[in-house]
Structure 1
Amino acid sequence: SGHSRRSPPHARHRVPSNPVQTDLRQHIERNRARHESSELETLRRRIAELESRQRAPEEPPQRASTSAQVYLEADSPLTPELTSEPVPGKVKVPQIWLYDGTSDPDSHLGHYTSWMDLHGASDALRCRMFSLTLGPRAQKWYHSLPPHSIWKWQQLRSAFRSHFIGAQVCLIPKESLANVTQKDDESVKDYIARFNDRVRNMEPCHPETLLVMAIAGLKPNSIFRWTLCQNKPNTFQEFFARA
């Protein structure tokens, strides 16, 4: 027929490939492979580094340098025999108020001694832990002691007491209670509160003596005093309860 036939698709002429484009694609593929290989190697090194850190033992905590330890020992008022004795792990710092140098030193020593007796502390341990119970002013005194001048607790105790003896509380004689009497316009509770204030600052006194003095100080013609004389309380605490 007069119509021209079209060639089937597979019979068409193919465009020959460009050698330049082929080389470029191959170059890109090689670079990509090298890049992936490099990233994989870097990742492997990081994993190995992390694993080695996890396997490595933990470093012990840093200690004070030897020179610092020597300085502290040389500066301490305690002898090396005292400072070298280890502190048992079971011993706790005394749970008492820090001594500020303005209160009774005997009271502080009493609280400290009771705490250390409770824990069975040795003579050396009493010396080593005593400074932990001192406030800034008393710490200044402690560190002013000559180096290595203290070799036993009794010596440190005496030095502390002698230095702060001026802050010792002077107790009121018990005979002064005879001067504490109920005022005309004073209630029983106010009188007892004032009586107690005097007792707290007074030298030790037998409870029965306190009871007699407290009743004697009431107003002579008060109903409360008359009631107490009719039915005398047995203890000082019972007297307070009935007031």
Structure 2
Amino acid sequence: MLPAGRRLNVPLPEPQEVPPQWLARLEHLQKGLQDVKHQIEGAPEDERQGIPFIEIVMANELPLNCRTPAIAKYNGTTDPMEHLSRFENAALLHRYTDGIKCRVFVTTFAGAAQQWFNQLLVGVIGSFQEFRSLFLHQFASSRKVQKTELSLFAIRQGEDEPLKEYLQWFNTAALEVPAATQEAKANAFSQGLLDGDFFKSLAKKPVSKFDALLARAAKYINMEEAQAAKKDGRGEKRKEVREEAPSKKPRGDLR
């Protein structure tokens, strides 16, 4: 114990100089916090005119043979998922890097989509995954309404419509319902058929799988086309006979 009234004189360490790299890191963190603040409160108009990509995205060099994909421009009025899928297929074909995908994707914008991109804050896109998420969120209202299996049961074969055309129409509609099961498609297709030979065949021997139905439908399509060709051939033959037949003069003109 020290006597009352006396103090222990401990020398304080002299202040040390902060390393330059620490100062640089501190400045970087302060700038990052300021950027976050701008994004929350709304950045100034002049700052919005910058590039939304971070430096690592811009650092990816374009290859010499890099070309813009041959797909239609997106203006914000059609399904964004369809446009994105077409672009991603092209990006896979050309083997774009993540940064290249970001920069090339912008070249497929027009109209409202281009205006939306121009208004993005500086540095908000750090990867293509972030870019696609922002894009889909922005144009979510333009996405197609997902159809259900019930929509397939509303399809009907038209009067005098060939089986082949009905099948093509049904297949096109079924592509918009990827969740439809084999059983649902088979039932919906059968329900929409006219009361013809193929319908009677299915009534006698039903199928539960749509693939099996397609195999049987092919036979009846060939039969329909053969019957139509035979009918057309007979009609053409009758026409030729009528055209080649000698004209008969009235009996009064015979001399």
Q: TM-score, normalized by length of structure 1?
A: 0.58
User: What's the CA shift for 1:130?
Assistant: 0.9
Listed one character per residue, the Cα deviations across residues 20-68 of structure 1 (whole Å, up to 9, x for unaligned) are xxxxxxxxxxxxxxxxxxxxxxxxxxxxxxxxxxxxxxxxxxxxxxxxx
Letter of the 2:161 counterpart: S
Q: What secondary structure, in the 3-state scheme, does the structure 1 residue paired with 2:107 have?
A: helix
Return closer, same or farther for 1:91/1:242 CA change in 2, 3 Å cut-off.
farther
Return closer, same or farther for 1:96/1:204 CA change in 2, 3 Å cut-off.
farther
Q: How does 1:116-155 map to 2 (within 5 A)?
A: 116-155=91-130
Count of residues in correspondence between the two structures: 169
Return closer, same or farther for 1:186/1:160 CA change in 2, 3 Å cut-off.
same
Contact 2:148 2:180 (8 Å CA) reproduced: no
Number of the residue aligned with 2:220 = 242
* Cα separation, 1, equivalents of 2:175 and 2:92: 26
* Cα separation, 1, equivalents of 2:172 and 2:69: 29
Letter of the 1:102 counterpart: T
* Cα separation, 1, equivalents of 2:200 and 2:134: 54
Return closer, same or farther for 1:121/1:198 CA change in 2, 3 Å cut-off.
closer
Compare CA radii of gyration and give the structure with the larger one: 1
Q: How does 1:103-182 map to 2 (within 5 A)?
A: 103-182=78-157
Q: What secondary structure, in the 3-state scheme, does the structure 2 residue paired with 1:166 have?
A: helix
Q: What secondary structure, in the 3-state scheme, does the structure 2 residue paired with 1:76 have?
A: coil
Q: Which moved more, 1:189-198 or 1:80-89?
A: 189-198
User: What's the CA shift for 1:240?
Assistant: 6.0
* Cα separation, 2, equivalents of 1:79 and 1:240: 56
Q: What secondary structure, in the 3-state scheme, does the structure 1 residue paired with 2:89 have?
A: helix
* Cα separation, 2, equivalents of 1:179 and 1:223: 21
Contact 2:149 2:184 (8 Å CA) reproduced: no
Say whether 1:81 aligns with 2:56: yes
Return closer, same or farther for 1:92/1:194 CA change in 2, 3 Å cut-off.
closer
Number of the residue aligned with 2:198 = 224
* Cα separation, 1, equivalents of 2:112 and 2:168: 34
User: What's the CA shift for 1:191?
Assistant: 4.7
Contact 1:207 1:236 (8 Å CA) reproduced: no
Contact 1:101 1:137 (8 Å CA) reproduced: yes
Q: How does 1:50-69 map to 2 (within 5 A)?
A: none
* Cα separation, 1, equivalents of 2:101 and 2:143: 22
Return closer, same or farther for 1:155/1:223 CA change in 2, 3 Å cut-off.
same
Return closer, same or farther for 1:236/1:207 CA change in 2, 3 Å cut-off.
farther
Q: C-alpha root-mean-square deviation of aligned residues, in Å?
A: 3.0
User: What's the CA shift for 1:110?
Assistant: 1.4
Contact 1:85 1:124 (8 Å CA) reproduced: yes
Letter of the 1:154 counterpart: Q
Return closer, same or farther for 1:149/1:212 CA change in 2, 3 Å cut-off.
same
Listed one character per residue, the Cα deviations across residues 76-126 of structure 1 (whole Å, up to 9, x for unaligned) are 111233223211113221122211211111111112122212222211111
* Cα separation, 1, equivalents of 2:184 and 2:219: 18
* Cα separation, 2, equivalents of 1:135 and 1:240: 44
Kindly, what percent of the aligned residue pairs are identical?
23
Q: TM-score, normalized by length of structure 2?
A: 0.55
